[in-house]
Amino acid sequence: MRLNLAAVAVACIAAATHASPATSPQRAAASGTKGCGKTHYFNGITQYFGFKSSGRDRKYSIHLPVNYQKSKPYPLVLGFHGSDSVGLFFEADTKMSESRFSGNKIMVYPDGIGGAWAGANYSKVSVAEDLQFVADLLDEIRGGYCIDNDRIYATGMSNGGGFVNTIACNEVGGEFAAFAPASGSYYTDNDEHHDECKPASSPLPLLEIHGGSDKSVHYEGGEGEGGDEPAIPDWLSWWAERNGCTSVEQDDSFNGDVHHITWTCDGLETLQHWKVDDMGHCWASTEINFSQISVGEGPTHIQASDIIMKFFDQFSKP
């Protein structure tokens, strides 16, 4: 779905200007990245920055924990917005910057070119260019902040969720410990192209959340706004094969409306799926949010931001 609610989020969270990170370089901590030891101000407040990637101006925002310590390596989570949107909207919709979800993590929200990510037929840049942007963004963040290289994660919704899967299927995915797309439009991992997915490691921890009543990215697959989309059960079966999964279990709750499916892969529950039968194309939340309003729905049974962060906490790079 191509959401047009970025202006709503801007009106609700309009407090920052684009600049360069204000830092004081000092000696880097041995266990962290080059950004360890650099001082930052206004921690706990989202700040906005930009840099060049592939000769193009790219933008992102970053939210540090309130108690950020300059020489302590922190987990890093990249959050990718849906189409016709910006990182600010994804942050507002998911509430992921709130300490109850990411109190010990650094959150980064990149902006796609033209409000979208590569892979869809309406995308403004190639898959190669957006993947290079991800690599460059990781270098940018590592150079300015104290990052735990073994605990870097990615999540996203809709077109952004589909791009998270694209990252997982390519070499740059090796920089991440786990992935969690939601309501993803998997244009680069569909019936025609799924054999082209080459994860950098296996098993690769991945969690997906999807609404059974999604009218934009249909659970049963088919032609989407940006191209052909796979049926979610088929897409999950490809990942089960890629991860070498040996068994699967399902737990149903909320009178059969919520289904949590877990695959065991190499002894670990590295592949998980949450299906909410009556949920449409929105970010699953027990509290009303913008994406729910946009599809005329109210709160759901599950809180995706909490589920995703707890999933990430289980994994680090081997």
Mean of the pLDDT values across residues 283-308?
97
Mean of the pLDDT values across residues 121-130?
97
Predicted local confidence at residue 140, as pLDDT: 97
Which residues fall within 8 angstroms of residue 151, CB to CB, at 6 or more apart? 75, 76, 177, 312, 315, 316, 317
Percent of the chain with pLDDT over 90: 89
- Residue 182 backbone dihedrals phi, psi, to 5 degrees: -135, 135
Which residue segments constitute the domains of the chain, with CATH numbers given? 45-313 (3.40.50.1820)
Task: Express each pLDDT in 236-275 by its tens digit.
Answer: 999 999 999 999 999 999 999 999 999 999 899 999 999 9
Let me know how many helices (H) and strands (E) the chain has, helices first: 8, 13
Predicted local confidence at residue 31, as pLDDT: 54
Is the pLDDT reported for residue 167 higher than 80? yes
pTM above 0.85, yes or no: yes
Is the pLDDT reported for residue 160 higher than 80? yes
Per-residue tokens: 171: 């070499």
Residue 238 CA to residue 230 CA, distance in Å, equals 11
Average pLDDT, the chain: 92
Task: Express each pLDDT in 56-71 by its tens digit.
Answer: 999 999 999 999 999 9
Whether residue 151 contacts residue 175, with contact meaning beta carbons closer than 8 Å, is answered with no
Mean of the pLDDT values across residues 200-227?
97
Task: Express each pLDDT in 1-41 by its tens digit.
Answer: 444 444 434 434 433 434 444 433 333 333 579 999 999 99
Predicted local confidence at residue 60, as pLDDT: 98
Residue ranges with strand state E in the chain: 18-19, 47-53, 56-63, 74-80, 106-110, 147-157, 178-182, 206-211, 222-224, 227-229, 245-253, 258-265, 268-276
Mean of the pLDDT values across residues 107-135?
98
